[in-house]
Amino acid sequence: MTYEAFTPKYPASSLPYACCEMGGGMTVFYKYRFQLPYESVDAMANMKVAGGCNFVGYYVFHGGSHPKGKKTAFLNETATPKISYDYQAPIGEFGQVRESYKRLKRQHYLYQECEQTLTKMKTVLPENAEQITPTDVDTLRYAVRADGHRGFLFINNYQDHVKLKHQENFAIVLELEEKRIRVPQQGTMSLEKGESCILPFHLSLSGCTLLYATTQYMTQVEYEEEVYHFFFTPKGMSPEYSVDKKGIVAVYTDAKVVNGKAAYVIKGEELMNHPVVLECEGGKRVHVCTLTHEESLDFWKVSLDGQERAIVTNAGVLVDQNRFRLECQGQSPFELKAFPAFRDTISSREHQIVHLGQSGIFHTYRCTLSEQVVECEVDQVSDAKVKVRVPNVAFEGVKELLLNVDYEGDIGYAFIDGELIHDNFCNEATWQIGLSTHEEAIKEKGMYLYISPLKGDSYVQSDSPMAARSEVARRQVAKIKSVWLSSVVEMKLVDY
């Protein structure tokens, strides 16, 4: 589709469609205070790829801090914070892993796995798609990328600045070159408000053909010469798979199987965590694994000692040069699920890991950190100012030490011996400050926080005979409600 506003002299489809500076986050401006809805981030990526984008770029993906100048200490003194450039990014200023990162991660597993086919597919829009306005929350928003035979169905139920509602009881018919596919084959499907998804059709699963699914594909793991394909169920949908019967000898599952003329339709909540096994001619077995929405956010694919593994854990997973580490913030004990299972010798020198057993294909481990919860000393000077003393022991054994501040007011400032080390425009979210880079100064001098007041009903008084002017505010809010420490700990696993 070509709009009048974009009529190049060359064929538009002859050049790649690239997106840069997509909203991985957004900074808080002085006059625009907001908390970024993390579901907006993967929804934007979803729709850009649906529209034909093959180059997905973000700004900002990892937040940071502005350095101080050599001659002029700060820039952007009024419009944005002087130091903080957290940007509410998928990875925060101090390495915080946010929901937007987890949402993008599962989407990019799909892009990586299907790159060779997806990038060659063209976009197909439904009739009257150009007539959908941003305020229209009734019309289903969807698009297809396909090559005439196979492809992906992109559905979006997120739109900013409007009141969203669930999209319920709909079905989509795909007119392919050789056949017509209704998704789902019988009945309808639904998608919760704020969610988006990518549903495959005619997807090759290690030689088997998935005609359609009401689940989103992520990736595959090969183990003992058998392939395990991982999907998740978008919020509001019920999992369902339609598999071409050609080449399939048997289907093993606890879920309901409808034995049709040309396809097996497999559906039901029993699919969760209980893989479907497709036995193919020649004895090959293909496994279809279905995760919940929540499990998919915690899903990681890693390679250790040449063996790919699927991991489900709320901790951050770091793997490089066969080093396996878990980055944990405040969650202890926590669970780690792994497929294939680790060796019985798996351990952590500083922390504890215990094998709890097996459920489905996953083996579950309980991880317990050895560090102690350390509290800071807070001296309340006034409602708007506190002195903070951080015990030396709080820095021991941690990767990052975060100071968390809940407050009301205009701007939060953090100082060490009169030097500004961090600032924050209040948007009613918890203000987090990374302390590790200031460890020695904090140990020696301590730190303090100050909140400038948010003023209401203010006016400028200029009735002085000397022409003096002063601002008068009938209402001011500046209050520090709570201050506490949290630590980021890295758990190193060995003998796995």
Q: What's the whole-number mean pLDDT along residues 169-178? A: 95
Q: Which pLDDT value is given to residue 412? A: 98
- pTM recorded for the entire structure: 0.94
Q: What is the CATH number of domain 377-487?
A: 2.60.120.260
Whether residue 28 has pLDDT greater than 80: yes
pLDDT grade for 395, boundaries at 50, 70 and 90 = very high
Residues 6+ away with beta carbon under 8 Å from 375: 484, 485
- The pLDDT tens digits for 229-265 are 999 999 999 999 999 999 999 999 999 999 999 999 9
Q: Which pLDDT value is given to residue 471? A: 65
Whether residue 469 has pLDDT greater than 70: no
**121-297: CATH superfamily:** Beta-galactosidase, domain 2 (2.102.20.10)
Whether residue 1 has pLDDT greater than 50: no
- The pLDDT tens digits for 399-426 are 999 999 999 999 999 999 999 999 999 9
For residue 430, what are its two tokens? 């918890």
Q: What's the whole-number mean pLDDT along residues 201-211? A: 96
CB 260 within 8 A of CB 212: no
CB 183 within 8 A of CB 199: yes
Domain boundaries, the chain: 18-104, 121-297, 299-370, 377-487
Whether residue 459 has pLDDT greater than 80: no
Of 10-14, 189-193, 352-356, 479-483, least confident by mean pLDDT is: 10-14
pLDDT grade for 475, boundaries at 50, 70 and 90 = confident
State the DSSP H helix or E strand holding residue 411, giving kind and residue range, or none if neither. Answer: strand 411-416
* pLDDT-above-90 percentage for the chain: 83
Biggest CA-to-CA distance, the chain? 100
What whole-number distance in Å separates Cα of residue 347 and Cα of residue 306? 20
Q: Which pLDDT value is given to residue 496? A: 87
Whether residue 334 has pLDDT greater than 60: yes
* pLDDT-above-70 percentage for the chain: 95
CB 329 within 8 A of CB 486: yes
pLDDT grade for 460, boundaries at 50, 70 and 90 = low
Q: What's the whole-number mean pLDDT along residues 483-487? A: 97
